[in-house]
Amino acid sequence: MDELTLDCSPRFHELAGANDVNLRRIEKRFNVQVSARGDKVRIKGEKAAAGLVESLITQLMEIYDTGQEISEGALKFIIPAFHDDPSIRIKDVFSEKTRLQTGRKEITPRSVIQKEYLFAMGRFDIVISIGPAGTGKTYLAMAAAVSELLRKRVSRIVLTRPAVEAGERLGFLPGDLYEKINPYLRPLHDALYDMIEPERVGRMIEQGMIEIAPLAYMRGRTLNDAFIILDEAQNSTPDQMKMFLTRLGLNSKAVITGDITQVDLPPSVESGLIHAKMVLKDVPGIRFIHFTEKDVVRHELVKRILKAYEENDPRVRGQSL
């Protein structure tokens, strides 16, 4: 066991978090012990792990010392991301100008957590974003997908949602497949039309470059060279979530978005997103991004409304978003 000692910055308590929750996250991820007494931080553990934690804490404190804030969601992202890839320069995640070109417009993140979300989608093959409406989860995932397609890094975009309102039993609805699923997938169309001219979207759908389908239609497929987005994932079941995640083929990325306070499944049915949050939280190569009502980029009143509902929802009370 090695022991390293660092000088303790005046803002170290912000990194440590309430009841040292962030230090406990670091300890669990790197299998070390971190303690602060007076003006010193002590790290105990295997030499390599202790060295990584020293670098992690030093880089984070450099950001704090510039006067920047680092959100709880940001730390939940950065700690495991640095563990998986210590070559990450943490300040670059916060300071670099991140923009996505999507055809009709240039998309720029409007908060630190949005920037981290874009960073994660560029680095990891599976990204799961959880948080309330208005935080940009789906819109930014769509922007990343369109950017990758236009830059020819993937050959198609696959967009899917659980058609929970129809119980996924679309065969009982009138009309062809497109007419049946269109009402359930309309929000995905709206985001696409905001980024690409509608006529071009139509051509891309006809050519198979963009596919929009209900989650049930993903079964039995392997999706290669694709950017795949599962929206409203809180309305999938655990079996559906497993089915979706195992569709991932060569040179493909998957982004899952959802709000665990807005589950529309019957009370007896477990949400696949909540289940995945527990089962996959420590799987290397999968990155979770946690948004909160503080990250909402809509009207200020929306944040207050979301917080009020969250505090009164027994399904999510006590869960960490």
Please write the tens of the pLDDT for every residue from 106-153. 877 777 788 888 888 988 999 999 998 888 899 999 999 999 999 999
Q: Which domains are delineated in the chain? A: 2-85 (3.30.1370.10), 102-311 (3.40.50.300)
**Got the DSSP string for 188-216?**
HHHHHHHHS-HHHHHHHHHTTSEEEEEGG
From first to last of its 321 residues, the chain has per-residue pLDDT tens of 788 888 877 888 888 888 889 999 999 999 999 988 878 899 999 999 999 999 999 999 888 888 877 777 678 778 888 888 888 788 877 665 567 778 777 877 777 788 888 888 988 999 999 998 888 899 999 999 999 999 999 999 999 988 764 444 444 444 555 565 666 677 778 888 889 998 998 899 999 999 988 888 898 999 999 999 999 999 999 999 999 999 999 999 999 999 998 898 999 999 999 999 999 988 988 999 988 877 777 677 877 887 788 787 655 544 433
Taking a C-beta distance cutoff of 8 angstroms, is the pair 45, 53 a contact?
yes
* pLDDT value at residue 31: 93
**Got the DSSP string for 75-135?**
HHHHHHHHHH-TT--HHHHHHS---EE-SS-EE--SSHHHHHHHHHHHH-SEEEEE--TTS
* pLDDT value at residue 221: 92
pTM above 0.85, yes or no: no
* pLDDT value at residue 109: 78
